[in-house]
Structure 1
């Protein structure tokens, strides 16, 4: 009986890609179906996918951090791979310029029209959004870029908390969240083609732990826009030093020198948050630091950051962070302690 052809999966190499993601995916896709049998004393199996690195041209090209990648095929010679993976792109939330990727965007649209499944990791979803394929559809990207994606593409329904999102007819658009969630994205594609058990086996080979709590625990709640409004800047500076006071919004209002309604309107315009929401973000970020670095009780931490009601603090923390304070401490406090025990300095 002839073997079924392995589906092709093109990994899109650009100057903005990280080699670790590009080749990390390459290794996972090659490993799926092949390496697990050998790990348990059987002959190696066949790889599920046929990965290939694709780019505008096949000439060696530097990617992020100066690593040189040699693509295997040019985009013009690959009209419709079964799957396409877009790695992350080296852009910053406040300065997203993707005009250099016009050729890649055109190729992605054409491949999708011919039936390709397109998956984007991390900020690669910004390029996918620029193709127009996500208009009116669900999406995700790195937590720090979700606001920027929503501003650039108002019709896209961005889900900051989710690690993997599928969209479009036949779910042929797939996105992974930030950082190492490209691993979750790759496991999803493996499961989609070869089944859940194959994906689980691949995860065991590489010791991959699915980000089941989503992106929220890793996100910085206090990511706010830099304000050119001097009055609002005064308020931000004041609250950074007095976030634990009993009447923080009143103090910010006084520091701004504005009338109450004017202050509320200009603060929302400058930061994207109401004054009270802004206070909560600062308090919860400080609470996260306490939970990571110390052994104080949740009640003591709530008091330290300005909440008299520890139960309210815990509910708010869970809603905003996605974990309870105790769960957050176990996850990230343990990480910090292990790094300290290994001799890592607390700050660079």
Structure 2
């Protein structure tokens, strides 16, 4: 039997992550029974106190067991914890030595969405790939520069450490874990039973690029504002460094440090974000949108658009725009 421990942290935790993970893993034994196979899983909610209040007392979760009662587990699932991440880590610090001890004994550890922040605080994610909600990518990089954040990924995996991207993409990781533990046939059965799209690899189509502006470098903020207001024009690094009286090498270094992007990456992301808005809301054809956001090389645009969003311009428009448009 595989023992699965779904953590119940203190704080504003994702009840959906906890209940959804518990339901799917628990139901696997039913699927196995229907196929004439023996049950494989024992699923428990594991906490650090007997009753854990959630949503300002609106809900209370009663774990099956406390961490001191679980001597050996095979999989630890860390749900998303919302709000101040540093405070959440402090409130749940008692989990950390237990998680590290179980991992040392061979357990796998999976974080769901913002649960990556807590997993990273254990040190187990150091030098490993990681996914989390795309909206929190900049904050995550600032807090954990030693972790290889891949904010376009739905799932990452290395050395028995698993992470998932934003919000309901946790379901894709749960299915992936089901496949690893029970086989492809059971994962496909679960995906059909719960109407979950299996094998989805990227959260790129869902990312809204907002630019990293929580830094304190005011001249760089002015450059960002200029790029965002003039993305239709041909903007170069030399033009920006001259216009804002910043030496080119210093300017490029400061920009990357402040925003997490090179200057050219930032310009591209702003142009692509503008194109996405047009594809979502207008009746323009593909080439009209390309020219409107300042590209003259349609092939280059299509390549960059696919790299950033994971979809071609036509695929993106068809996915998000219900207007009748021409190619």
Q: TM-score, normalised by structure 2?
A: 0.87
Of 150, 161, 170, the match for 1:159: 150
Of 47, 59, 70, the match for 1:67: 59
Aligned ranges for residues 1-348 of structure 1 at < 5 Å? 6-14=1-9, 15-34=11-30, 48-63=40-55, 66-91=58-83, 98-168=89-159, 172-210=160-198, 212-247=200-235, 249=237, 252-253=240-241, 256-333=244-321
**What's the CA shift string for 1:234-285, capped at 9, x where partnerless?**
2222222211113365664465344544433433332222322221111111
Which runs of 5 or more structure 1 residues have no equivalent in the other structure? 1-5, 338-348
Note the C-alpha offset of 1:133: 1.9
Note the C-alpha offset of 1:62: 1.7
Q: Cα–Cα, structure 1 residues 263 and 211, in superposed 2: closer, same or farther, change >3 Å?
A: same
**What's the CA shift string for 1:86-108, capped at 9, x where partnerless?**
11121468x77622221111110
**What's the CA shift string for 1:290-346, capped at 9, x where partnerless?**
111223111110111111122211111111222111111222335xx7xxxxxxxxx
Which runs of 5 or more structure 2 residues have no equivalent in the other structure? none
Contact 1:256 1:263 in 2 (8 A): no
* Alpha-carbon distance in 2 for matches of 1:263, 1:96: 35
Query: How big is the alpha-carbon RMSD for the aligned residues of Structure 1 and Structure 2?
Result: 2.8
Structure 1 range deviating more: 225-234 or 274-283 = 225-234
Contact 1:217 1:322 in 2 (8 A): yes
Contact 1:105 1:131 in 2 (8 A): yes
Secondary structure at the aligned position of 2:6 is classed as strand
Secondary structure at the aligned position of 1:296 is classed as coil
* Alpha-carbon distance in 2 for matches of 1:298, 1:259: 37
Contact 1:225 1:272 in 2 (8 A): no
* Alpha-carbon distance in 2 for matches of 1:310, 1:243: 16
* Alpha-carbon distance in 2 for matches of 1:96, 1:148: 14
* Alpha-carbon distance in 2 for matches of 1:231, 1:261: 15
Note the C-alpha offset of 1:115: 2.5
Aligned to 1:341: none
Structure 1 range deviating more: 317-326 or 211-220 = 211-220
Contact 1:31 1:47 in 2 (8 A): no
Note the C-alpha offset of 1:202: 0.8
Give the number of aligned pairs.
322
* Alpha-carbon distance in 1 for matches of 2:318, 2:249: 42
Secondary structure at the aligned position of 2:170 is classed as helix
Contact 1:36 1:201 in 2 (8 A): no
Contact 1:36 1:202 in 2 (8 A): no
